[in-house]
A and B are shown apart, each in its own frame.
Chain A
């Protein structure tokens, strides 16, 4: 009996196209992800093979979520087929076995659901086979076909996920016999998954989140998060770790649900609810005699407006009251509340719920739910009359079809808007609930009506159109989904980037407290108009093909449609067509003619061509800047800036220069003026210029030259290309307005795989570290030979209401003719690396020992200013005491709009994004925190990078970034105990471990870091912090101070990492010299585990605690392969008084040479936990096995 139903379920599905279509969709997605770098599933793969086992794990686990939708169809069909055809009463009256029927159907659907996901493997195999043949990607980017990963991912993800989801869907389907409820069940599972994702955003919850995640994705990520590329290439999903536990857990839950639903299932038809008729009420109804009212004899013209209203009301009400909508609304609300509750986490802090954060949340969520609403209800609306068998009556009334379609579209858009606006109201309530009372209703309003609303309108119209022309509900759904998801993929593959083809696409706008919706507003206004007209036109055109009456063929539909339109229809069609063409023309003119743009592919080609043609000039000697005077005018209202720079340049080479090479940028229209010279070569497209000097510039000689620049926007662009010159918050670097001197290797294509595709030679990220360097040390890594220490003077003007800031001290300020003019001059020669800024600022100043500590901030963001000044002062104090004098007369923090989220150090100035720091809620945070840490870091750069800078080779960013991190940690350490510092450092450790697992080239030891953030920030922090714990803070500072003193503001040669090691080595005691090799010269990892800890009460009231532990030291190569190394290390053993690991009562550093160890300690009181390396000073990939609860004997 079981096999009969099982086979019937499977074979009947195999005979129908649905399963093949689903499988094909999945295979196609994966195929593209394998053969192209543009299509990504679950993130970029980096240096890992495109078909690596770990990548298969990601593909399968991510696509499985979409697979659930297919699974729903199978399970729902299996459960409902007999009911759908009303066959149940016949079937169930036969003597069939309940178990055979129930499980036969269930297992059949289960097998079918998993078969769909086989598409992933097909896509991988076919893609892996075809890609090298057609040269889409190089053969070296593919590994062998990962059969093992196919097997394990199928049994670890597909089978359990489909089983679990299947039990729920099958339960709902057999219980409620409603397709909608089944799909809602699926949605519920996905929502559960998303909530568990929110849990993971907090680092301490990872293990819990790994269990809670129904799909096992978090568990898989947790197990593999620190895998290196080499490991990812060979290790797929494994039957172990969190993943296995997670799978067993959810399979068991699934079994329980299945049992529950099986025993609750009965063949008997559920009796329909009988509504009790209220007897006696009839008698009380007043019998009103109504006479036939006078109806006008003839109807001349039907009121279009009334017809519209009536249609709108009927459509809207029935959707609004439908369970689908109510359920979607509830889910989106639950998700929003859960996101708001857990969101805005930033290194353990929360930001204020500012309006733009709310908008981001609301827009992200509603886009998903509205998409479902638009697709689902567009089909429902178009098919409503026919599905309800009322179409003949409605079509027989004299309404105009187009009015009915417009009403459908607008009711659909209104429904979507209701959801969106409800989410907004909840977001506002959340703000109020959190005591945030700056309700910017106008911002909410504008964001919705100039953004999402218009997108809904465009898509609403288009989806209605699709349903009308396709005239088959399910094919219509299919086409809608394909259009929604595949169109962008197709554009990616075809390298099309214009917003004019991406439905609903506009230049992006982003709300910033400083600069409102930003420079994309004009463009997005016109694009919105364009898309709105497009949406309206599609609805109007749909009316032509609207199947009025019962006509089936296209010819009849056209004929019937035409007769019900009338002359005004053609008027409207004409009007909107003309309006659309005019607006389209205007948009086209602005985005393609006035502001032609390069697609990312074209930019790539340009980079390739630049490198191929001019790479030969890379070593050509060139001039170096000595000092610069800037004359800059900023016009914020017009988003325009122009001006000139007068440069004094010199020939620091030992040969005479007879020609000068420049690379100029198009957007600032740079022009170079060199006296006594001639432009002998100009490549306008690539901006490559060669000037011949009439009189060669002799070695050691200098000359003057002028650079003019102008950025003036014209009309609007497809995507705003310049986010630096703004209405409020202009912020650009000297590098943007000055041309590059000589050939600029920074313009070269960096991505290793793309370089291979274009047959460019392998490119080193940085030259190798050299012990005794000559030429290479003449350039630092920041300016690469184009300048050393320069003097800068700036005359900068802006509008009267703004403050313009340039490097150095303010010499004078003058307001004249409605313009504010400023004159700045640096107090000490500095790096040729600084920014020019203009915005409407409030300024907070705190004088400190002759230095002005200043914060320039947006007037609304005043809350944290005092704390920021405190942080500046604290850093200044520590650095001047431990490292040496500060050479500027000011230290400025300057807020800039959130279009970029970083903080950066320029001489004496530190621009800091409004997205963090300024809006983080620090109330009640009396401890050091990340806002202070960032300030301390940037402040430290005033020493590390701006007083001493490394040569342009590997290891140099350690001298600036790692040292700045270290300095910042030392400032933090004051007034923070060591256990709290551990919480701080875990972010750094995680950053390093995650970063190395995504390494695209070769991991380098700290001393040879090639500008990789996870190494110089993440690993650098951990190692230098551990170092000061091992050898002492003063020893490290002595080394740093010595190094600084030798190289401070010194002309080349620049120092290398070896120069620092010269100062460090004497500070390290002999017993710890091994640390230099392990931590700086090699990649060293530790595997530390506390196995057992037992305590015994002693007679004297003390306790003897015996610990068993395991300690291994591992050395890794650049690809991430590890080898065990001999252990001769000092490692801490420590004891916590409490279970929360907050109070460390004892820490002792012990010398270990054996992998397994046992030690006993005598403690004054009974500890709760024992730990090996309790402060997490050593780099250990598994964190939670370092600690064990102490067992009392």
Chain B
């Protein structure tokens, strides 16, 4: 089983934005979650791994294959669902998948036809196979996107923000699908939705400002915050005062009132309740750490 090894990857855009800063990662088969806020560099990393973008320096290998210098070889074993997956107008789902399957090298016509039907069934679009994809809803389009990413025998599947725009039912189906294929190959799931990672991933990393700021299993991440996260519901006017005194991980509205999570080794004050840390806390903690 091949291993994805990334070493010292750097990318600076012409406008000066540092999208990737010395990124090192090593992952093996299974689901890998990549968390990060918008603009953290997730998509840059994904695109670089998907051979769509040149890196300034560093290396990336999938097994023996040099991703950066031999993109054609990687493309043969790559399944990629970009953040924005659009479709051609006036083309049916089956035609589109057939086209992509051809491009991926499934040259036998019958195999291709079977494969396309199989995948369409798998993403629950078999009935709609002869309808124009451009008329599909966002969720249906996304399922076509997943189907195309599974064409061939991808060794590396990269999905960038896949569940954005999906309703909960669709999102569940999608997770099940990913989990199924993720047993055999490397799946990188880039997202800013913490729950996606929690539900699916065995391994994860958090990115911010082009850097990997956390790397490990979700379980380890949670363990590291065990006993350090406290919750309190406060009045809106008190927010500034709390912020000055405590390290606020997050605040959100619950029942019309701000509820804050605070990072502290001991009870931060009256009214705080210890809570079991969740990945969101991990996420915000690491993000805040890098900003500071």
| Genuine A/B complex | yes
The verdict on A318 contacting B118 (CB below 8 Å), with A392-B52, A398-B76, A549-B52 known, is: no
The verdict on A302 contacting B52 (CB below 8 Å), with A322-B90, A392-B82, A397-B100 known, is: no
B100 and A393 contact, CB distance less than 8 A: yes
Residues of the A chain whose Cβ atoms lie less than 8 Å from the Cβ of B259? none
Mask of A273-285 contacts with B, CB within 8 angstroms, 1/0: 0010000001001
Residues of the A chain whose Cβ atoms lie less than 8 Å from the Cβ of B72? 398, 563-564, 566
Q: State which of B31-39, B102-110, B198-206 sits at the interface with chain A.
A: B102-110
Residue in chain A with minimal CB distance to B82: A392
B71 and A564 contact, CB distance less than 8 A: yes
Residues of the B chain whose Cβ atoms lie less than 8 Å from the Cβ of A924? none
B91 and A314 contact, CB distance less than 8 A: yes
The answer to whether the Cβ of A317 comes within 8 Å of any Cβ in the partner chain is: yes
Contact among B53, B73, B86, B115 for A295, CB-based, below 8 A? B115
Residues of the A chain whose Cβ atoms lie less than 8 Å from the Cβ of B76? 298-299, 302, 398
The answer to whether the Cβ of A494 comes within 8 Å of any Cβ in the partner chain is: no
Residues of the A chain whose Cβ atoms lie less than 8 Å from the Cβ of B126? 288
Residue in chain B with minimal CB distance to A565: B72
B75 and A549 contact, CB distance less than 8 A: no
A550 and B47 contact, CB distance less than 8 A: yes
The answer to whether the Cβ of B62 comes within 8 Å of any Cβ in the partner chain is: no
Cα of A297 to Cα of B85 in the assembled complex, Å: 26
A397 and B104 contact, CB distance less than 8 A: yes
Cα of A388 to Cα of B72 in the assembled complex, Å: 23
Find residues 35-84 in chain B having any chain A CB closer than 8 Å to their own CB: 47, 50-54, 69-73, 75-78, 80-82, 84
Contact among A393, A399, A556 for B85, CB-based, below 8 A? A393
B53 and A550 contact, CB distance less than 8 A: yes
Contact among B51, B95, B105, B135 for A302, CB-based, below 8 A? B105
Cα of A550 to Cα of B121 in the assembled complex, Å: 31
The verdict on A560 contacting B54 (CB below 8 Å), with A302-B105, A318-B88 known, is: yes
B114 and A397 contact, CB distance less than 8 A: no
Counting from the closest, the 6 A-B pairs by CB-CB distance are: A389-B86, A549-B52, A398-B75, A299-B105, A293-B114, A392-B82
Residues of the B chain whose Cβ atoms lie less than 8 Å from the Cβ of A294? 111
Residues of the B chain whose Cβ atoms lie less than 8 Å from the Cβ of A615? none
- Expressed in whole angstroms, the minimum distance between the Cβ of B133 and any Cβ of chain A is 10
Contact among A301, A303, A314 for B95, CB-based, below 8 A? A314
Q: A288-B117, A549-B47 are in contact. List 13 more A-B contacts (CB 8 A).
A: A282-B127, A290-B114, A291-B118, A302-B107, A311-B99, A390-B86, A392-B47, A392-B80, A393-B148, A394-B100, A549-B51, A563-B70, A564-B71
A552 and B103 contact, CB distance less than 8 A: no
Residue in chain B with minimal CB distance to A556: B54
Residues of B within 8 A of A (CB): 13-14, 47, 50-54, 69-73, 75-78, 80-82, 84-91, 95, 98-100, 102-107, 111, 114-115, 117-118, 121, 126-127, 135, 145, 148-149, 152-153
Residue in chain A with minimal CB distance to B49: A396
Contact among A311, A388, A556 for B87, CB-based, below 8 A? A388
Cα of A399 to Cα of B135 in the assembled complex, Å: 27
The verdict on A314 contacting B51 (CB below 8 Å), with A297-B153, A397-B100, A398-B103 known, is: no
The verdict on A390 contacting B51 (CB below 8 Å), with A295-B152, A299-B76, A306-B107 known, is: no
The answer to whether the Cβ of A307 comes within 8 Å of any Cβ in the partner chain is: yes
A317 and B52 contact, CB distance less than 8 A: no
The verdict on A563 contacting B148 (CB below 8 Å), with A293-B115, A318-B89, A550-B52 known, is: no
Cα of A318 to Cα of B89 in the assembled complex, Å: 7
The answer to whether the Cβ of A292 comes within 8 Å of any Cβ in the partner chain is: yes
A399 and B103 contact, CB distance less than 8 A: yes
A563 and B69 contact, CB distance less than 8 A: yes
Residues of the A chain whose Cβ atoms lie less than 8 Å from the Cβ of B118? 290-293
Residue in chain B with minimal CB distance to A559: B54
Contact among B84, B98, B145 for A310, CB-based, below 8 A? B98
Mask of A308-343 contacts with B, CB within 8 angstroms, 1/0: 011101100110011000000000000000000000
The verdict on A314 contacting B99 (CB below 8 Å), with A295-B152, A299-B76, A556-B54 known, is: yes
Residue in chain A with minimal CB distance to B70: A563
Pairs across A and B, CB under 8 Å, 14 listed? A282-B127, A288-B121, A292-B118, A302-B107, A303-B105, A306-B102, A311-B103, A318-B90, A390-B88, A393-B82, A396-B78, A548-B52, A550-B52, A552-B13
Residue in chain B with minimal CB distance to A390: B86
Cα of A553 to Cα of B15 in the assembled complex, Å: 11
Cα of A397 to Cα of B54 in the assembled complex, Å: 16
The answer to whether the Cβ of A395 comes within 8 Å of any Cβ in the partner chain is: yes
Cα of A293 to Cα of B101 in the assembled complex, Å: 13
B121 and A317 contact, CB distance less than 8 A: no
Residue in chain B with minimal CB distance to A548: B52
Contact among A293, A318, A394, A397 for B91, CB-based, below 8 A? A318
Cα of A748 to Cα of B87 in the assembled complex, Å: 67
- Expressed in whole angstroms, the minimum distance between the Cβ of A256 and any Cβ of chain B is 35
Cα of A550 to Cα of B127 in the assembled complex, Å: 34
- Expressed in whole angstroms, the minimum distance between the Cβ of A131 and any Cβ of chain B is 46
Residue in chain A with minimal CB distance to B79: A396
The verdict on A549 contacting B53 (CB below 8 Å), with A388-B86, A392-B47, A564-B71 known, is: yes
Cα of A275 to Cα of B135 in the assembled complex, Å: 10
Cα of A560 to Cα of B14 in the assembled complex, Å: 16
B91 and A393 contact, CB distance less than 8 A: no
Cα of A864 to Cα of B117 in the assembled complex, Å: 67
Residue in chain A with minimal CB distance to B127: A285
Residues of the B chain whose Cβ atoms lie less than 8 Å from the Cβ of A1158? none
Cα of A556 to Cα of B84 in the assembled complex, Å: 22
The verdict on A388 contacting B103 (CB below 8 Å), with A290-B117, A549-B53, A566-B72 known, is: no
The answer to whether the Cβ of A1062 comes within 8 Å of any Cβ in the partner chain is: no
Interface-centre pick from A293, A298, A553 (highest chain B CB count, 10 A): A293
B88 and A314 contact, CB distance less than 8 A: yes
Cα of A1116 to Cα of B54 in the assembled complex, Å: 79
B75 and A392 contact, CB distance less than 8 A: no
Cα of A556 to Cα of B102 in the assembled complex, Å: 27
Residue in chain A with minimal CB distance to B15: A552
Residues of the B chain whose Cβ atoms lie less than 8 Å from the Cβ of A397? 75, 100, 103-104
Interface-centre pick from B73, B104, B115, B149 (highest chain A CB count, 10 A): B104
A310 and B103 contact, CB distance less than 8 A: yes
Interface-centre pick from B54, B75, B89, B107 (highest chain A CB count, 10 A): B54
Residues of the A chain whose Cβ atoms lie less than 8 Å from the Cβ of B89? 318, 388
Cα of A291 to Cα of B135 in the assembled complex, Å: 28
Find residues 115-148 in chain A having any chain B CB closer than 8 Å to their own CB: none
Cα of A309 to Cα of B86 in the assembled complex, Å: 22
The answer to whether the Cβ of A1073 comes within 8 Å of any Cβ in the partner chain is: no
Cα of A275 to Cα of B136 in the assembled complex, Å: 12
The answer to whether the Cβ of A240 comes within 8 Å of any Cβ in the partner chain is: no
Cα of A302 to Cα of B76 in the assembled complex, Å: 9
Cα of A541 to Cα of B151 in the assembled complex, Å: 31
Residues of the B chain whose Cβ atoms lie less than 8 Å from the Cβ of A559? 54
Residues of the A chain whose Cβ atoms lie less than 8 Å from the Cβ of B82? 389, 392-393
A321 and B127 contact, CB distance less than 8 A: no
The answer to whether the Cβ of A384 comes within 8 Å of any Cβ in the partner chain is: yes
- Expressed in whole angstroms, the minimum distance between the Cβ of B118 and any Cβ of chain A is 5
The answer to whether the Cβ of A842 comes within 8 Å of any Cβ in the partner chain is: no
Cα of A393 to Cα of B13 in the assembled complex, Å: 22
Cα of A285 to Cα of B117 in the assembled complex, Å: 14
Residue in chain A with minimal CB distance to B98: A310
Residues of the A chain whose Cβ atoms lie less than 8 Å from the Cβ of B127? 282, 285
The answer to whether the Cβ of A551 comes within 8 Å of any Cβ in the partner chain is: yes
B102 and A310 contact, CB distance less than 8 A: yes
Residues of the A chain whose Cβ atoms lie less than 8 Å from the Cβ of B71? 560, 563-564
Residue in chain A with minimal CB distance to B113: A293
Residues of the B chain whose Cβ atoms lie less than 8 Å from the Cβ of A549? 47, 51-54
Contact among B70, B75, B86, B90 for A396, CB-based, below 8 A? B75
Residues of the A chain whose Cβ atoms lie less than 8 Å from the Cβ of B145? 393
Cα of A318 to Cα of B132 in the assembled complex, Å: 12
Residue in chain B with minimal CB distance to A389: B86
Residues of the A chain whose Cβ atoms lie less than 8 Å from the Cβ of B115? 292-293, 295
Residue in chain A with minimal CB distance to B56: A556
- Expressed in whole angstroms, the minimum distance between the Cβ of A557 and any Cβ of chain B is 9
